[in-house]
Amino acid sequence: MFEFQFSKVATLKNDVLSGLTVALALVPEAVAFAFVAGVDPLVGLYAAFMVGLITACIGGRPGMISGATGALAVVMVSLVADHGVEYLFVTVILMGLLQITFGLLKLGKFIRMVPYPVMLGFVNGLAIVIFLAQLGQFGNAGEPGWLHGTFMQGSIIDVSWLQGEQLYMLIGLIFLTMSIIHFLPRLTKAVPSSLVAIVVVTLLVLGFDLNTRVVGDIASIAGGFPVFSIPSVPYNLDTLFIIFPYAVILAAIGLIESLLTLRLIDEITETRGRGNRECIGQGVANTVTGLFGGMGGCAMIGQSMINVNSGGRGRASGITAAIFLLVFILFASPLIERIPLAALIGVMFIVVISTFEWSSFRIVGKVPRSDALILVLVSAVTVATDLAVAVVVGVIVSALVFAWEHAKHIRIDAREDHKGSTVYAVTGPLFFGSVTSFLERFDPKEDNDDVIIDFARSRVADHSGLDAIDTLAERYLNAGKALHLVHLSDECSKLLTKAGNLVEVNVIEDPRYFVAEDSLD
């Protein structure tokens, strides 16, 4: 029913208006994530302003929105609880320096190794997380939820639900917001439908004095300019040992989420961002943020989708969003605090509906079962833990499935040539997954006295493959048989410890490739 009407035309007007829409949606998100991390709301708002501004200026993906995120907040909470907010700031600085290093080493390209099922699982899992994060607004803060006393107590869905008129009012205003966002583009696309929905619902609530919660009920967003300050921590090895593990985890989560969001925006806009530049942009943003009292951040898929939906394509959209957010903090906090939460929840629900890959249900029965399993697994792990763990799990499972499938592709055909020699032709990759099957295909006791193993249609991929060849050679030598290894690469023959002298070198026909083995380094 609901879908985004994506515009592929980049204009300054679209960027400015979409930036304003994004800024309005950033306020409750930044405040909520600050609460998750256990810091003052302004720490989250300052992070949203500075990270958003800097990445918009120098990052690798125009139109992508960055700020304080829940994926980072859940890691920060234990650091803040155990050591205080100053340790958080210095950790964010180190996190930024690590991200700059990743970018300078051009490690952003490795995001291409994330398989498509993992990408689908990431998108679906994050859509579910965004949806669940909104449920807290349907409950009474500080009261025990409907799952109190069960093993789900304290979870994100353990909400003390609103009752009666308050609940019906909230649901009605959310539905009105979603309806405006959906139907307005059919009438006009002159202004972002999300912005119109927020304004209309806000005026409706104020005009009729409706009883519903507003942004100001969460926290006050009034404040001044961020102030430069060196974090007040002892600069010694003890501090480094405390912050380094957190910095590494935060840097990894931030870059994974940012680069996967970059890929998603690339597909939607049919353009290509620059991953390594984005790594550097995120790093610079977090380094500066730590020096100005912000909690750090990364790309935000929800706000990025709002921006794209509202027509934001250029760097001006992210810059505008950051500047408007600062204006809200400095001058317009009384007005912003009167915006109904229902309007912002409605915007985020539209983001959820459009972000979730509904085609997943259609293709699950058509793709290999392993791909379907990975998609569901990554979605579930994203919801249960965090994005970084989910992506790592997905990539590892994908690699193991790939290894298992290719392990079955090795084929060995035996024949006897005109000289009476037993000739084995090996087809397929020889690596850790296929060595057991490879060794089982040979029978030194039954073979002729002269044996030839031809690797013309095979490739030795790693040390396990080399060791299998050495083991096989030892078996034939112990059986008193003459063994000839043909069409192995020059590097393979150098790395073989026992069978190297059995390799017959043919400069013209022998292949040239490298083996994943450190012995020659």
Closest CA to 326 of 226, 218, 198: 226
DSSP conformational letter for 9:
-
Q: How many CB atoms lie within 10 A of CB 430?
A: 24
The residue ranges of every structural domain in the chain are 12-378, 408-520
> How many whole angstroms separate alpha carbon 235 and alpha carbon 341?
42
Burial 320-337 (b: 16+ CB within 10 A, else e): bbbbbbbebbeeebeebb
Tokens 């909690």 label which residue? 295
Give this prediction's pTM.
0.70
CATH topology for 408-520 is Transcription Regulator spoIIAA (3.30.750)
Per-residue pLDDT tens listing for the chain (521 residues): 344 444 555 588 889 999 998 998 888 778 877 877 878 889 999 999 999 999 999 999 999 999 988 778 878 888 998 899 999 999 999 999 999 999 999 887 777 677 888 888 888 887 888 788 788 888 887 677 777 777 667 666 777 888 888 899 999 999 999 999 889 888 887 777 888 898 999 999 999 999 898 988 877 888 889 999 999 999 999 999 999 999 998 998 899 889 988 988 888 888 888 889 999 999 999 999 999 999 999 998 888 988 988 888 889 999 999 999 999 999 988 888 898 989 988 888 887 888 788 888 888 778 888 888 888 998 888 888 777 788 888 888 988 888 887 777 789 999 988 888 999 999 988 888 889 889 988 989 888 999 999 998 888 888 888 899 999 989 998 999 998 999 888 778 877 876 777 777 665 566 776 676 655 44
